[in-house]
């Protein structure tokens, strides 16, 4: 008799072994998902009833800071959105220690997902990672002036959450 697979496992949407390991640690998760036009970041706690999303930030929030882009999922926007998310987590006095949950997405060293992680780490969150996987600042800027990046970072720092 064949063992019954969970629906989300057969759809390649959930790795239950990894999920169970994250939940056993009782450390909050930072969930990062890429869509066609934006990056979604969530601060998730787990209790008996299920996952509880405490904070959700979309990278479109950068348009409110004056950043104009066709797509808010580039490495540059991902870094800024991750920085914004991290500052908001710190301002709301959530635990700074978290586990990065990338789900079943394909990951690449120095990719978009890790530019979001770099922004979160630079903002003050403590997320376990290998330093080699983070993109270099040169690839994050993608030809944009470093002064422009610093301008947006100071705008984020001055926000009151």
- pLDDT tens for 99-135 read 998 887 888 888 899 999 999 999 999 999 999 999 9
- Please report whether residue 1 resides in a domain: no
- Please report whether residue 2 resides in a domain: no
- Please report whether residue 77 resides in a domain: yes
The CATH number of the domain holding residue 131 is 3.30.420.100
Q: Alpha-carbon distance 40 to 21, whole Å?
A: 23
Backbone torsion region of residue 78, taken as left when φ is above 0, otherwise alpha when ψ lies between -120 and 50, otherwise beta: alpha
- Please report whether residue 132 resides in a domain: yes
Supply angle C-alpha 147, 149, 154, rounded to 5: 95
Provide the number of structural domains found in the chain. Answer: 1
- Please report whether residue 50 resides in a domain: yes
At 38, phi and psi to the nearest 5?
Answer: -150, 175
| Domain range for 107 | 7-158
Q: Is the pTM of this model over 0.85?
A: yes
């Amino acid at each position: 008799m064949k063992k019954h697979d969970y629906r989300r496992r057969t759809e390649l949407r959930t790795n239950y072994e990894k999920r169970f390991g994250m939940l056993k640690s009782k450390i909050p998760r930072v969930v990062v998902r890429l869509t066609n036009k934006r990056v979604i970041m969530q601060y998730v706690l787990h209790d008996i009833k299920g996952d509880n999303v405490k904070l959700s930030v979309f990278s479109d929030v950068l348009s409110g800071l004056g950043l104009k882009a066709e797509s808010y999922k580039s490495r540059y926007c991902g870094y800024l959105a991750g920085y914004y998310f991290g500052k908001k987590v710190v301002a709301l006095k959530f635990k700074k220690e978290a586990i990065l949950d990338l789900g079943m997405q394909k990951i690449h060293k120095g990719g978009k997902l890790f530019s979001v992680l770099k922004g979160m780490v630079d903002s003050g969150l403590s997320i376990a990672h290998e330093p080699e996987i983070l993109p270099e600042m040169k690839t994050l800027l993608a030809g944009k002036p470093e002064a422009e990046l610093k301008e947006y970072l100071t705008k984020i720092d001055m926000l009151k959450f």
